Amino acid sequence: KAGVTQTPRYLIKTRGQQVTLSCSPISGHRSVSWYQQTPGQGLQFLFEYFSETQRNKGNFPGRFSGRQFSNSRSEMNVSTLELGDSALYLCASSLVTGSNQPQHFGDGTRLSIL
Amino acid sequence: SQQGEEDPQALSIQEGENATMNCSYKTSINNLQWYRQNSGRGLVHLILIRSNEREKHSGRLRVTLDTSKKSSSLLITASRAADTASYFCATDARADYKLSFGAGTTVTVRA
């Protein structure tokens, strides 16, 4: 079974631009969560989608948004990029929603803001 | 804010030795999970322990949970070079099912 696939792996943008990151979950998994990982803040939860609905949201500004499609693939969008948005963005999928579900992570998209 | 905090921040051991790391958290939980992250890669799920469980084993891994002390430990026995990685605990607050990760323990296994 293929794992979680995130594209692109690396991305360089400049301040003020916007970016869209993509995540394809493991086949059959319906829950997709997004995390931001930085050396200073560690792993921070962004949001979770299940059956095309946002189920949970972390403490991030409205510039961070996401969506999930009917095939469970998910996209994350960040608008008006700031230097502090430089991070590794990780996507994780699980069969269903719930904190008793092991999360299966992709290898992330490393976003650098110049 | 981070619910879980790992200790120590870093650990260096010789191959064959055991590695122990701890996780403390602040509020009551439903479950606690441990993950491993190799450099430049995503996290890999290691083990999940429920709040009504006290100990769980998986291969060379042993996890304990003490809900009265709000703490958990991960023991890796007979370590190998391939165990070199960062290890994270993840908890959920009972009223909030979002997973919250600690800052991690970086383990280096020397050959």
Tens of pLDDT, residues A46-87: 999 999 999 989 999 999 999 999 999 999 999 999 999 999
pLDDT at B100 over 70: yes
Mean pLDDT of chain A: 95
| Residue A84, helix vs strand vs coil | helix
| Upper half-sphere CA count for residue B30 (Cβ side, 13 Å) | 13
pLDDT at A20: 98
Q: How far is A93 from chain B (nearest CA, A)?
A: 11
* CA atoms of B48 and B20, how far apart (whole Å): 17
Could B98 and A43 be called an inter-chain contact, meaning their C-beta atoms sit closer than 8 Å?
A: no
What pLDDT does residue B3 have? 67
Beta carbons of A107 and B42 less than 8 Å apart = yes
Decide if pLDDT at B1 tops 60: no
pLDDT digits (tens, 9 = 90+) for B15-65: 999 999 999 999 888 899 999 999 989 999 999 999 999 999 999 999 999
Distance, in angstroms, between B44 CA and closest chain A CA?
A: 7
pLDDT confidence band for B94 (50 / 70 / 90)? low
- Provide the number of CB pairs (under 8 Å) joining chain A to chain B: 57
Q: What pLDDT digit, counting tens, does each position of B60-72 carry?
A: 999 999 999 999 9
Is residue B24 within 8 A of residue B7, CB to CB? The reply is yes
> How large is the average pLDDT for residues A91-109?
91
Residue A101 has pLDDT above 90, yes or no: no
Residue A93, pLDDT > 90, answer yes
Helices then strands, counting H and E runs in chain A, come out as: 0, 11
Provide the 10 A C-beta neighbour count for residue A3: 14
Which residue of B lies nearest to A5 if distances are taken between CA atoms?
A: B42
Interface of A to B at Cβ within 8 Å reads 4, 33, 35, 42-45, 48, 56, 58, 90, 92, 97-100, 102-108
In Å, how far are A16, A45, A63, A76, A86 from A79, measured between CA atoms?
Answer: 7, 18, 5, 10, 13
User: Is 80 exceeded by the pLDDT of residue B97?
Assistant: no
